[in-house]
Amino acid sequence: MTRTSFRTRPRTAARACGALLSAALLAATLQTTAASSASAKGPEDRGGPDCVRTEGRSGEAEQVLDVVRKAKADLRLKAVQVRVAADGQEVVTDALGESMTNVPAEPGMHFRAGSVVFSYLGTALLQLVEEGEVGLDDTVDRWLPDLPHADKITLRMLGNATSGLHDYVTDPDFLAVLEAHPFRQWTPKELVGYSLAHPLWYKPGTNWSYSHANFVLLIAALEKITGTPIDELLHQRVTGPLGLRNTRNSFTPDMPRPVLHAFTSERGLYEESTFWNPSWTTAPGAVITTHICDLARSAEGIGSGELLSPRSYRTLLNPGTVGLGGATKTCPATVCVKQTKARHFGLGVLVVNGWVIQNPSFSGYGAIKAYHSSKRIAIAVSATKTPKTPAGNMAEEVAERIAAELTPDTPMTLS
């Protein structure tokens, strides 16, 4: 599943609920594969020569690879893809291990990117604010009138996870269904229904707690605001301008070739999970795949605020979350997590000691993108598991070790 660095959430699942959502949200379920040019395949869809192993490695590149090799062995990983860049220039790109038995992992292999898309949503929302199309503190009842508490929940609260909505990914009923049916196609109505089956954790805007439902709803609102399907909107505003040719949505569980295969022991036995249906992770049109070179470019582009004004970039990094969070009588500390200057959630991103991060982890895939604006270093890691790999997103651990080697004074401490 998609994770935050606070490690507050379990795996994933869904119970069909009543018609509580707006027409805008329901309309998202009607999109088909034909609606998206991003899912069409052609020569440009392949990993291709733009994402290959570094030749003529520098001493710094070998330094990074030594860290990655040791981490792969220590964590008993099946495959690790890595790319590090400094000042926009490649330091090293490589892949270690196997995608499948006797099939070596390659840097250009595609993998699922999960919550990386949330950082794109935050950037697109801030662009619309800059253009005067919406205000961050506009309540969502204008676009999602059937959503409970819509007159109290704002666009800012959806983007920075302060709405108070429960995370459907932690609902035991949802988890049970997801575990039993990993190929099931989910709708936004079903997903958000699990969240709405619970009371709010707190009055909107007064605390902090992560919920995938926030971003499902933010997508519905953005589509209504712009009149544009989310896959097209993000291509126009984020992935296109950043040149992310291998980062795209798919309305099916299929993935562009070549594919980095994933395996997991989530259901009690070690099994391939590459083509488990990722529709539960967010709304249709924002279920993305990428490769390691695009992920590093995404880290740099989003993490540096390349597509935003200086003022909006500051908001991306702290939209009012610092100082929020903490246990209450109705919300435990494991859910309402304290947000500090050194460690907090921004607008679809995590900020940890100056690193701007997203760290998706679900169905055997683990990845992380991180950028430090003052150091101008981008780190991207993707990792897959063997039966002996520890639980959790081990790409985080690999990235932490790389950061410790390259920037020991600014650790990327996620645990």
pLDDT profile of the chain (415 residues), mean per 10: 39 37 40 37 45 93 98 98 97 98 98 98 98 98 98 98 98 98 98 98 98 98 98 98 97 97 97 98 98 98 98 98 97 98 98 97 97 96 98 97 97 89
Specify which residues 381 forms β-bridges with: 82, 368
Torsion of CA 6, 312, 27, 170, to 10 degrees: 10
Q: Is the dihedral of CA 3, 344, 408, 115 positive or negative?
A: positive
Distance, CA of 249 to CA of 44 (rounded, Å): 15
pLDDT at 49: 57
Q: Return the exposure string of 377-414: e unless at least 16 CB atoms fall within 10 Å of the residue's CB, then b.
A: bbbbbbbbbeeebeebbbbbbbbbbbbeebbeebebeb
What's residue 415's pLDDT? Answer: 74
Question: Do the beta carbons of residue 182 and residue 272 sit within 8 Å?
Answer: no
- DSSP per residue, 253-290: S--PSSB---EE-TTSS-EE-TTS-GGGGS-TT--EEE
Q: What is the pTM of this model?
A: 0.90
Token pair 């606070």 in the structure block, residue: 6
Q: What is the pLDDT of residue 257?
A: 97
